[in-house]
Chain A
């Protein structure tokens, strides 16, 4: 299984600022994903981070608000831009297991973001 780390683990930010979250995987992976988990809610997929091309965003999420970088097969960043209190969530990085497209995903520990 892949080992995924995220930085920071938590942060408290002011309205209108931006935060960049880093995701590092201990092995090369093809597919990396970013999820949001709002308080008391399930996980919602924000986007798929594609290596060498622009991220693919899900309905309701846009690049200007959540720019994503994927410079190589082990690293990705998600930026939460111009934050508002509604952005307070846990943000999770995830990767597909290397054993096949119908298998499980592995998740990082998450970044708990509070926007004041």
Chain B
């Protein structure tokens, strides 16, 4: 089955510093990868996706993600973190073995320190 792994439960970054939230994937065939963010007491918001094409994908709120086929990674990045970026981040993949349903990683809690 297709899956994604988020190796870090929590990431702490000082405000203004670059941030990276890690995600690795395991898929057969073409990977369809996503990042979502969940702010406290709110639903999930879509940030960005990789379907095909350019390996650097730009998304909402200044976030971007780099698709790396050789390392099977899809890390989320932002050049300069804001305190308001503090939230729970989920990496996800479409599972072609399960009727293309979206499967989520366990999530990484990002804390931006003022």
Contact = CB atoms under 8 A, between A and B. Distances in A.
Chain B at the A interface: mostly helix, strand, loop or mixed?
A: strand
Given A92-B43, A92-B44, A43 B90 contact: yes
Given A41-B106, A42-B90, A42-B107, A106 B46 contact: yes
Contact of B42 (A101, A104, A110): A110
B43 A109 contact: yes
Contact of B101 (A45, A109, A112): A45
Contacts of A106: 46
Contacts of A105: 46, 102
Interface centre among A41, A48, A107, A112 (most CB of B within 10 A): A107
B100 interface: yes
Interface residues of A, number: 21
Given A41-B106, A42-B107, A45-B101, A102 B51 contact: yes
A102 B100 contact: yes
Given A42-B90, A101-B100, A110 B49 contact: no
B67 interface: no
Contacts of B51: 102-103
A39 B105 CA distance: 15
Given A43-B104, A104-B49, 5 more contacts: A45-B101, A101-B100, A102-B94, A105-B46, A107-B44
